[in-house]
Amino acid sequence: MKRLFAIIAGDPISINTEIIAKIWKNSSSNQKKYIIIGNYKIFENQLKKNKIKVKLNNLDSNFKNLDFKKLNILNIPTKLNLKKIDKNLIKNYIRNSVNLANKLSKNKIISGFINCPIDKRNLDFKLTGLTEYLASINKINGKEAMFLYGDKFSVSPITTHIPLNKVNQSITKDKIIDKIKTINLYYKKFFKIKPTIVVLGLNPHNNEFSKFSKETKVILPAVNHLKKIGIKLDGPFPADTILLNKKKFNIIVGMYHDQVLPIFKAIHGFNAVNITFGLDYLRMSPDHGTAAKLIYKNKGNTSSLKKCINLFNSINAKI
């Protein structure tokens, strides 16, 4: 079952069930080699409310009744009742789903997973996000990288889901070096290309490379070290003109989340995939939110999850 992977149904207050079912229904038989990790009854009830007809299979824990003519649901037990929302039950349900997917991936029962969107208010990980949680439970803290893949270029922030007033103190030479080593290694592993990376500064106009700037003291020494060990990169460049830079690149590495994500999303829209680099299995997620206001309206956009599934299958066939 090397090529088998899982899709975590994710946040139950979302369009996730709708878009999973629509994609599965419109896929060819050879594109359906995945299972869903989530609550069978919630999935079934949400499909009924959306009037989407898909045959479901309540998959047993040893996978003996796996049936790719049906959408296989590996059930996560929960007392959650969506008519009366209990935030603690939602958090436990999401945590249990992620933990099971991680366990199955670590044990090589599945090759990895895609997690559908989760409202961060429903994360109970006492960390800033799912990327950080997976790094923590897999004991790779600081070696992981949040990577946003797009057809035109990709981006990765050195710091992820932290307040802006904590970014400066969080950026160190070692952190930049470790993150970019991970990005370079996993990009080559997944895409079979040695990437060209451009690195952004932290301050407007790189603080003109003043003597005590972050660019001069931390970022430039990290870039120079990485060049010496054979990584193809350049920088730091000012963030405001990076897309006007005529230098060809595969990846932009920024210093913080909202330095690189806005330009990336403006160019790629829904055709983007979030990948966690550093794990010993493949983990992705579509690059959009839960769209809770659209639940049961049958208006969910399937393009990002479809992109995820296609990319997962493509990489999975290579590694």
Is the confidence at residue 241, as pLDDT, over 90?
A: yes
> Is residue 203 a part of any domain in this protein?
yes
- At residue 2 the predicted structure's pLDDT band, cuts being 50, 70 and 90, is low
Q: Is the same domain home to 253 and 300?
A: no
Q: Is the same domain home to 172 and 245?
A: yes
* Residues 108 and 136: beta-carbon distance below 8 Å: no
Average pLDDT for residues 128-139, to the nearest whole number? 89
- Please tell me the predicted confidence (pLDDT) of residue 84: 79
Is the confidence at residue 1, as pLDDT, over 60?
A: no
Q: Is the same domain home to 48 and 165?
A: no
> Is residue 34 a part of any domain in this protein?
yes
- Please tell me the predicted confidence (pLDDT) of residue 292: 82
- Please tell me the predicted confidence (pLDDT) of residue 319: 83
> Is residue 301 a part of any domain in this protein?
yes
Q: Is the same domain home to 159 and 205?
A: yes
What residue numbers bound the domain in which 78 lies? 1-140+288-319
Rounded Cα distance, 313 and 303, in Å: 15
Is the confidence at residue 127, as pLDDT, over 70?
A: no
- At residue 150 the predicted structure's pLDDT band, cuts being 50, 70 and 90, is very high
**Residues 199-219: tens digit of each pLDDT:** 999 999 988 788 889 999 999
Q: Is the same domain home to 243 and 295?
A: no
Q: Is the same domain home to 96 and 185?
A: no
Q: Is the same domain home to 26 and 73?
A: yes
Average pLDDT for residues 170-190, to the nearest whole number? 97
CATH no. for residue 242?
3.40.718.10
Into how many domains does the chain fold? Answer: 2
pTM summary value? 0.92
Q: Is the same domain home to 273 and 293?
A: no
Lowest-confidence segment of 101-110, 151-160, 301-310 by average pLDDT:
301-310
- Please tell me the predicted confidence (pLDDT) of residue 139: 95
- At residue 126 the predicted structure's pLDDT band, cuts being 50, 70 and 90, is low
Kindly report the average pLDDT of the chain as a whole number: 92
Q: Is the same domain home to 211 and 116?
A: no
Q: Is the same domain home to 42 and 127?
A: yes
- Please tell me the predicted confidence (pLDDT) of residue 209: 84
> Is residue 283 a part of any domain in this protein?
no
Is the confidence at residue 111, as pLDDT, over 90?
A: yes
- Please tell me the predicted confidence (pLDDT) of residue 125: 64
> Is residue 241 a part of any domain in this protein?
yes
- At residue 194 the predicted structure's pLDDT band, cuts being 50, 70 and 90, is very high
Average pLDDT for residues 248-255, to the nearest whole number? 96
- At residue 93 the predicted structure's pLDDT band, cuts being 50, 70 and 90, is very high
Q: Is the same domain home to 131 and 1?
A: yes
Q: Is the same domain home to 120 and 169?
A: no
Is the confidence at residue 281, as pLDDT, over 90?
A: yes
> Is residue 317 a part of any domain in this protein?
yes
Query: Which residue shows structure tokens 């049936």?
Result: 67
> Is residue 57 a part of any domain in this protein?
yes
- Please tell me the predicted confidence (pLDDT) of residue 291: 84
Average pLDDT for residues 224-232, to the nearest whole number? 98
> Is residue 195 a part of any domain in this protein?
yes
